[in-house]
Amino acid sequence: MKTAFITGVTGQDGAYLAQFLLGKGYRVVGLLRRSASSDQLGERLRWLGILNEIETMDGDILDIASLMRILQSVRPDEIYNLAAQSFVATSWQQPILTASATGLGPVYLLEAVRILGLPARFYQASSSEMFGKVQAPLQSETTPFHPRSPYAVAKLHGHWATVNYRESFGLHASSGILFNHESPLRGIEFVTRKITDGVARISLGLSQALALGNLEAARDWGHARDYVKAMWLMLQQDQPDDYVVATGRSATIREFCRLAFAVAGLNYEDHVVLNPAFLRPAEVDYLRGDATKARVRLGWAPETSLEALVEEMVAADLARLRG
């Protein structure tokens, strides 16, 4: 039985990845940071019905001693570093915390692996945000980066650290440059979930309007369930490498609104209002990924259309609110 260690196991991707790995027969150990709201912590894992099937160990990505203690006792075959301050908007309010958790976190973990001399394979959660002000209409592994937020700057540090540990020490360290991926387990502050939750509230008469920022930004949206499979596939390769994971289809926030409100038989133009508070100091206007390398080398392809994703998310939010 293989053992996987996941940081960020309580987040959206961590929950789906844990479910996927359990399905493959893995022993799954997750990093759990202490919180005063500990009753809320396993919410996503509980939603998937796997809270009691994984093991958790106390620690923090910022505390290398805790990482070393855990790695020494767990001795995982595979390490997935998903822990991060992952909300782009917050990264302007807390740039130093973001630089620490999102930028240095991967280094603490890589360094722990190196010092302990573990043979574990390593996955780093890199991001399409690193392309930022895009240098090509379709972004691939060879497109130059131009980060537009403290979050993206920090992710670049983690990305290049992963490449550097691979080149310097021969670690089996891979970096997945994942484009936006969503699900009913997406945090409520991210725009897709904010919209589907808003649609559900308006449709049930709990609210009248939904305030958003820039509707013209375009994203390449996939389903988190599909994307965690790509993470695993990267670690099954003989050679570590970097891969873009994306659908190749880009849609604006406006289009996402149109689709989501239509699921509930509503017109978004009757309910969406603009609030400048949700605009960002610097925006990523357009993302569209070219996942040819992942398709050819990993045999990976997205399985969920944007329409199916939106429907699933609206249905889940309606069910939540009715419940």
Binding site for ligand GDR (CB under 6 A): 86, 88-89, 127-129, 179-180, 189-192, 194, 212-214, 217, 219, 253, 278, 280, 283-284
Which of the choices ligand NDP, ligand GDR, none does residue 62 contact, using the CB cut-off of 5 to 8 A by kind? Answer: ligand NDP
Q: Which residue has the tokens 């895009």?
A: 134
243 in active site = no
Task: List the x/- string, 187-226, binding to ligand NDP by CB under 6 A.
Answer: x---------------------------------------
Position 125 contacts ligand NDP (CB under 6 A): yes
**N-to-C CA span, the chain:** 38
151 in active site = yes
- List the interface residues with ligand NDP, window 127-146 (CB under 6 A): 127
Quick one: 189 or 270, whose CB is closer to ligand GDR? Answer: 189
178 to 155, 182, 242, 243, 263: CA distances (angstroms): 11, 11, 10, 8, 27
Q: Which range in 29-37, 246-254, 261-269, 296-304 contacts ligand NDP by CB under 6 A?
A: 29-37
Of the candidates 123, 151, 227, 243, the residue annotated as catalytic is 151
Which of the choices ligand GDR, ligand NDP, none does residue 14 contact, using the CB cut-off of 5 to 8 A by kind? Answer: ligand NDP
Position 62 contacts ligand NDP (CB under 6 A): yes
Q: Are strands 27-32 and 55-58 parallel, antiparallel or unpaired?
A: parallel
> Contact, 160 vs 212, CB < 8 A?
no
Quick one: 118 or 242, whose CB is closer to ligand GDR? Answer: 242
Of the candidates 66, 86, 127, 203, the residue annotated as catalytic is 127
Position 61 contacts ligand NDP (CB under 6 A): yes
Which of the choices ligand NDP, ligand GDR, none does residue 12 contact, using the CB cut-off of 5 to 8 A by kind? Answer: ligand NDP
Quick one: 11 or 42, whose CB is closer to ligand GDR? Answer: 11
- Binding region for ligand NDP (CB under 6 A): 7-8, 10-14, 31, 33, 35, 60-62, 82-86, 101, 125, 127, 178, 180-181, 187
List residues with catalytic annotation.
127, 129, 151
